[in-house]
């Protein structure tokens, strides 16, 4: 795994944007797997600016997002669909029909998980998957469990995730308890994985995920199995333990 420890969130965002831009330049019709959360906001801002300057184009790009809350419709401002439109899709030249997320309003979990897997297969799989990490080690919304998911799943969010994500809601009670998430198997099958994390609350879980045992209790630890295709950009706070305890394994940006 290539782990790049960047001095600041801004540098992390710019470097990650460089990598994603290179992907779009090399393969203009890329399928991008996209993520939500605070971590990718800077990266999305950079991509918007580069698109405005004509340096990159989303004209032929297809996107599949990692996850969506169950019960929230796209016009709900807490939905991941809303987040993606606000922070990226509505600000670049992507075709609306090429944008895909799980449908949080579909109450038939079996139908929705099958639909999303079929959709990902129909676009030929993911060329570059953007990935963040939850404080409990989740990727997408694949929470710590006793097994790894393969395809899309409906997951019950853990208390730690509900608490962490409550900062975006009026109260903790309003955080949905379930979500649809792309499966760990699909995430691992992406051609390349662009991983980002920032902030000191990610430092411990990053060391566990990258250097601890590979276990479904830390879903992100799976990335060790596909280390060759993972490019991890973290800021100095998130990367503090990586840099201190595994200096040979990190690249200081
Ligand atoms: C959320 C999302 C994840 C994201 C993670 C980290 O729950 N489902 O896909 O990677 O939490 O979020 P943040 O970047 O805000 O720390």
- Residue-wise pLDDT tens digits, 165-212: 998 899 999 999 999 999 999 999 999 999 999 999 999 999 999 999
Q: Taking the complete model, does pTM exceed 0.95, yes or no?
A: yes
Using the atom order of ligand 1, give the atom closest to the CA of residue 131. 10
Distance 129 CA to ligand 1 centre (A): 14
Q: Among all residues, which ones are annotated catalytic?
A: 67, 136, 138, 143
Which residue's CA is the nearest one to ligand 1's atom 6? Answer: 134
Cα separation of 40 and 131, whole Å?
9
* pLDDT the model gives residue 188: 98
Q: Is the CB of 80 under 6 A from ligand 1?
A: no
Cα separation of 185 and 11, whole Å?
30
Q: Is the CB of 129 under 6 A from ligand 1?
A: no
Which residue's CA is the nearest one to ligand 1's atom 13? Answer: 37
* pLDDT digits 0-9 by tens, 113-137: 999 999 999 999 999 999 999 999 9
Neighbour order of strands in the sheet with 67-69: 67-69, 178-181, 153-156
* pLDDT digits 0-9 by tens, 3-59: 999 999 999 999 999 999 999 999 999 999 999 999 999 999 999 999 999 999 999
Tokens encoding 187:
């995430």
* pLDDT the model gives residue 33: 98
Distance 137 CA to ligand 1 centre (A): 10
Using DSSP bridges, classify how beta strands 230-235 and 128-131 pair: parallel, antiparallel or unpaired: unpaired
Number of helical (H) and strand (E) elements in the chain, helices listed first: 8, 11
Of the CA atoms within 13 Å of residue 35, those in its CB half-sphere come to 25
Beta strands per DSSP E along the chain = 2-6, 31-34, 62-65, 67-69, 99-100, 128-131, 153-156, 178-181, 192-197, 230-235, 250-252
Distance 39 CA to ligand 1 centre (A): 7
Nearest to 113 by CA among 156, 148, 151, 150: 151
């Amino acid at each position: 795994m290539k782990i790049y420890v960047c001095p600041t969130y801004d540098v992390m965002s710019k470097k990650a944007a460089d990598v994603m831009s290179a992907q779009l330049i090399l393969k203009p019709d890329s399928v991008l797997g996209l993520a939500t959360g605070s971590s990718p906001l800077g990266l999305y801002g950079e991509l918007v600016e580069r698109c405005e300057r004509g340096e990159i184009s989303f004209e032929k790009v297809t996107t599949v997002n990692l996850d969506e809350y169950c019960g929230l419709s796209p016009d709900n401002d807490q939905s991941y669909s809303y987040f993606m439109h606000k922070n990226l899709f509505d600000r670049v030249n992507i075709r609306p029909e090429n944008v895909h997320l799980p449908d949080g309003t579909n109450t038939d979990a079996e139908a929705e998980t099958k639909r999303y897997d079929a959709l990902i297969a129909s676009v030929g799989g993911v060329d570059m998957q953007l990935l963040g990490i939850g404080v409990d080690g989740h990727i997408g919304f694949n929470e710590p469990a006793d097994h790894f998911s393969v395809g899309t799943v409906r997951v019950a969010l853990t208390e730690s995730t509900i608490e962490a994500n409550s900062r975006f809601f009026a109260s903790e009670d309003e955080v949905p308890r379930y979500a649809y998430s792309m499966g760990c198997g699909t995430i691992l099958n992406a051609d390349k994985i662009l991983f980002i994390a920032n902030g000191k609350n990610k430092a411990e879980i990053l060391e566990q995920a990258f250097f601890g045992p590979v276990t479904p209790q830390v879903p992100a630890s799976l990335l060790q199995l596909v280390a060759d295709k993972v490019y991890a950009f973290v800021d100095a706070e998130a990367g503090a333990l990586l840099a201190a305890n595994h200096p040979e394994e990190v690249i200081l940006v």
